Amino acid sequence: MRIVALVPGGIGDQVLFFPTLDDLRKNYPDAEIDVVVEPKAKAAYRVCKSVDDVLLFDYGDRNSPADWANLLGVMRDRYYTIALYAGQGWGVELLMWMTGIPTRVGYDSSAGKGFLTNVVPDKANQYPTHRYHDLLQGVNMATATPDLAIAIPKKDLDWAEGEQKRLGIKGSGYVLLHDGASEAYPIDRWKSIVQSFRHQQPNLPLVVAQSSEHSELTTALIADYPELKVTDPGDMGKLASMIAAANLMICTESAPMHLAVALQVYTVVLLNSASSASLLPESDKLAIVSSETGKLADIAPEQVLSKVWGS
């Protein structure tokens, strides 16, 4: 038996889909489970335990007829029994119909639902892991959504242990800072947060996780606080390993935010709007600071620090 899930979106969207894949694996232990994801999202599957193969397709691009034909050919050749579509788009649903896959599942709100065999209610306002998991109703699975979880490769755990030794923080605990949002939190505000830690907990190591999106943040922080530690994990497994060992992570909305949730690490998250909180579950290990204006820059450092120090 072969199952395929078509999951548009970035790394964070894939991580949120993991519980659905985990439940599929639990209920179909002998099945081959594949996913079709955008190239930018492939990295997420380094920490997924329930997928056999990752196929690439750029859902958001203007794909040529050859791109569509290639995906159609691959899916036909693999003789899938079940296909789940986590997005909305009649083009993908038409393609699913053309493959001849017997069971094709998607949401009842999509324009192409007529090409599907089974549709499920689209409860778009709920936590995304629950919304994705609802797709399993289309294959007669009525189980509760499993907790978000990831599987870190041992070699990445070993790398993180060596990295902590290199940084001189092995066994001491540390706070991890990461900014991977499309709209960066201002550097001067990050500096205020660092300064508060230096005042309140001068011996607690602060580690900045290098972000390709905002490398200037690391440069600026090190210039003013040369005692800060810097790590550049390079992939999702190594980053997850560094998050797992942290006492606390402070971050903006990005894929590492979801990794922290999965790892149940105490986390303070900065969001650009209150509506973004729907991307996160209720947890006593999660503190959310939302901008009232829609801009991260308008979150005062004091708002973040009150979540840290409890005042």
- Sequence-distant (6+) residues with CB within 8 A of 186 are 296, 297
CATH topology of domain 2-139: Rossmann fold (3.40.50)
What's the number of CA atoms in the CB half-sphere (13 Å) around residue 44?
A: 34
SS3 of 5-36: the string is: EECCCCHHHHHHHHHHHHHHHHHCCCCEEEEE
Instruction: Judge if 2-139 and 154-309 fold alike in CATH terms.
Output: yes
- At residue 254, the 3 state secondary structure works out as coil
Report pLDDT for 311.
59
Taking the chain (311 residues) in runs of 10, the rounded mean pLDDT of each run is: 96 96 96 96 96 94 86 96 95 96 96 95 92 97 93 97 95 92 91 96 94 84 95 94 97 92 95 81 92 93 94 59
Domain 154-309: assigned CATH number:
3.40.50.2000
Report pLDDT for 62.
76
Domain edges within the chain: 2-139, 154-309
The residues that bridge with 208 in the sheet, in sequence order, are: 177, 230
- Angle at which helices 11-27 and 255-263 pack, to 10 degrees? 40
